[in-house]
Structure 1
């Protein structure tokens, strides 16, 4: 069941990047928020738009060469051919990673500052930080973002699911929506970043974070003045979120020694020595290369809940029951039978809650971090990337191909170049050998390339593929170049955030099941009040 997009479907990925010191790089697209914001600025203020881009990228390594498209096509086909294997990371972290990516790459100017965007506003709106602005927008006092909030201007609006059969409508289990709904036009999510309604799994994460924030608001002492409740809650929410990313998420996907080194000894490559209070930039090597790691973790099917067990929650259906890639099955809001069972996505036993186990055989592991992507990602629904109808069923709908081509658009450094750059910056990483890159460890089979094509690919291996091959050779966990880029970018994004555990080293979490600990399962337990009937409302 693949949805058919409309001509006005927004684009998920940007095709133009404003790189510090280089200007606009890539192919402009009318659907790119950075382009539309600059066009609006020129029209309203009569100034040179490119002088104040809506979102800043940076290049922390050297420029690379563009991979010829015939090679990119063969590599993409190899990466999406064959069966991926399970890893050891619970599947929920796949979509937590997508939620985090949208937080990091969120352009606040798309939901803030009303109808008039000035260069100063654009500067303030640049947001490569980990401050949950994809959840909060510009806050309840902003005239545009105010629509995301309840009347008290402290809590976020919540969604309501649609009754289907015996599954009643439930409040708080969908993102809030506006519009007319119906089969012809899915109801638009009332959230700052439309990308968080791209698939059901990331949309359910967004709804969970709404719940978490709202419960933090409710937990504040009554003595906190009304005017301060939002900011108090936001600070507490963001600091706990960052702690979870540092101590839980990063250590599941990256070599723990690298994470420890970066947070203990600082950065060597990503804006080393930057003013902690300055706004970070987003390294293209992270955004277009290393952090596309989550694409490898996606499953083709999930044991989703009691209504869709045993792999019947297919990836196609997770796209279909979203507002951006599908039409919610024709209902105005999410049908109640598609509410997530969080026990199937995260291991609550690791948080001391052995009573929150799913039925036997119904737990989902993410696919191993390696150079394989599941077959459905070879033919994305065009609505998920804002493609034209003519893109459907072609190589342009292949996610691996899109990643490789986008890297070429900005002349992204190869993996070998980045390894050399890291060493020159004082980071002791080894360069993968040609044999390691060619053969891997049960990942993509490159035998379909000609000898000449293979030689070209192995001499300057695209950074994304290189980082995944590193992980593949490391048992499914990022290491070397990939781990360093990911850990350092997270560190800088936390450091430059409005609220920061990097700048507040004395912070310790207080909302977890165990004092001083805060895992993603702790976040969910707090958000859903530790109740099985909320974490798995459809039962076993």
Structure 2
């Protein structure tokens, strides 16, 4: 059972209460909308001047953030794109516009608010058939029921695509750059590898089923799935638990200080009725990932590093853009390049977004093209003028933390509070650990851990869980998972028949 089903159960209960007249139905409380951690505060920055002037002040604030050289932090380079992949697993606002002021509780979250890999699997073979082999069209592939489409004849390592080159994946954003695209592809391949081994390796088949049976306990989960998709569901659950474990044990420690993770483990760090997917997370704190992107990346050992936007996404990937995963993750004792440290420096390409070609309107503010291409400025203005988030100091006060002072560039204009996104990056600088701390770290860790607590089938509810020895056991990392995929990719059955586009 996934969190979507939890949401439907809650919906049914709400409807039952409504029918009895015991409570009024409020669509803003449903789990698949955004919302807030803390109540909206009127004029949180204490600014009373013209908004266009405020935008200019913010522009001066973000000017010194521009970094023109790579800088190495503690995390592996690929963790930046794992963070993007996780974001695409739990959030998708497909309705609001960046310059539009809107109540977050009326913004639908298209993704399930769970770490369930729906960005890979969609809603499964029956509800998202475009992601899977079509056994009705190919009856000779009946044994491939539940395998996922992957690869093209021109590039077997690219994502499967339709005739227009659009990737056939659970979340289209996972094709927006060549790095997250190949992480998406690795998870698809991992699924197909394990499906293949379930058919050809009786020992591994039994081992995986025992693993899932033990975790699902008395739920008799096999009675609740379509018999022909039993293997599919077992593999999906197997991969989900390892993915969730990696988020808890590898991703969070890579980017969040230990003290913030400890603080976030208290379930009441924020109100118990706070939104499952709060805009303080999606619109501010989790955007720390923008600060960890490097200016250039080498795709292979000895290759010349290329600019972040050299290979645009959303199109067929050429073979020369295929990535060696040991350039993203530590594999086999070899140290990979690093991500930028979390802090108030952002790679210069993110000040010049190539896909922005015109001005953007915010309430009371117009950004001409040159300024509209500045991602840090867009982040701050979205915070203040569209989502109206609590300030960093206000969240710090709620958490009982000593707030940071307001940056001088704001203070000299009598602005008394700091926009939340910028504040979380200042905290990382102040911590000296090159990671999220305090407000930012607590928000990020609290939201992700809470998603796992709310999903009663997550790895958090599997006592004594230890990763499978094939992925590295208790020493499993994202690198060892990627190494498993690379080592076993040629074992995928029906590989040529799974290609499209």
Q: Which residue is equivalent to 2:445?
A: 487
Greater share of residues in helix: 2
Q: Which residue is equivalent to 1:525?
A: 483
Question: Offset of 1:216 from its aligned partner?
Answer: 2.6
Question: Offset of 1:239 from its aligned partner?
Answer: 0.5
Residue 54 of structure 1 contacts residue 126 of structure 1 at CA under 8 Å; is this kept in 2? no
| Aligned positions of 1:366-377 closer than 5 A | 366-377=339-350
Q: 1:370 to 1:126 in 2, by over 3 A?
A: closer
Q: 1:52 to 1:258 in 2, by over 3 A?
A: closer
Deviations 1:268-311 (A, max 9, x none): 2345389xxxxx721111111111011001111111225x8232
Residue 271 of structure 1 contacts residue 492 of structure 1 at CA under 8 Å; is this kept in 2? no
Deviations 1:348-369 (A, max 9, x none): 1xxxx23xx48xxxx4211111
Question: Offset of 1:524 from its aligned partner?
Answer: 0.8
Deviations 1:226-262 (A, max 9, x none): 3311111111111000000100111010112432454
Question: Offset of 1:516 from its aligned partner?
Answer: 2.8
How many residues in Structure 1 have an aligned counterpart in Structure 2?
409
| Equivalent in 453, 459, 469 of residue 501 of structure 1 | 459
Q: 1:203 to 1:69 in 2, by over 3 A?
A: same
Q: 1:248 to 1:54 in 2, by over 3 A?
A: closer
| Equivalent in 142, 151, 156 of residue 148 of structure 2 | 156
Q: Which residue is equivalent to 1:175?
A: 159
Q: Which segments of 5 or more consecutive residues in structure 2 lack a partner in the other structure?
A: 1-24, 46-53, 96-106, 135-143, 210-226, 493-501
Q: What TM-score comes out, normalization by structure 1 length? A: 0.68
Deviates more, 1:401-410 or 1:64-73: 64-73
| Aligned positions of 1:128-277 closer than 5 A | 128-142=113-127, 145-151=128-134, 152-160=144-152, 162=154, 169=155, 171=156, 173-180=157-164, 187-220=165-198, 221=202, 226-260=228-262, 262-263=264-265, 266-270=266-270, 272=272
CA distance in 1, matches of 2:394, 2:185: 40
Residue 270 of structure 1 contacts residue 489 of structure 1 at CA under 8 Å; is this kept in 2? no
Residue 343 of structure 2 contacts residue 429 of structure 2 at CA under 8 Å; is this kept in 1? yes
Q: Which segments of 5 or more consecutive residues in structure 1 lack a partner in the other structure?
A: 1-47, 110-121, 163-168, 181-186, 275-279, 424-428, 439-448, 535-540
| Equivalent in 34, 37, 41 of residue 57 of structure 1 | 34
Q: Give SS of 1:516's match.
A: helix
Deviations 1:173-227 (A, max 9, x none): 21111124xxxxxx11111211111111111111111112222323335577633
| Equivalent in 84, 94, 100 of residue 86 of structure 2 | 100
Question: Offset of 1:59 from its aligned partner?
Answer: 1.0
Q: Which residue is equivalent to 1:301?
A: 296
RMSD: 3.4
CA distance in 1, matches of 2:68, 2:296: 15
Question: Offset of 1:342 from its aligned partner?
Answer: 0.8
Deviations 1:456-513 (A, max 9, x none): 1xx2101111111111122311111111111110111222337301222332211555
Q: Which residue is equivalent to 1:315?
A: 308
Question: Offset of 1:155 from its aligned partner?
Answer: 1.9
| Aligned positions of 1:26-65 closer than 5 A | 55-64=32-41, 65=43
Residue 358 of structure 2 contacts residue 369 of structure 2 at CA under 8 Å; is this kept in 1? no
Q: What TM-score comes out, normalization by structure 2 length? A: 0.73
CA distance in 2, matches of 1:310, 1:467: 33
CA distance in 2, matches of 1:487, 1:130: 13
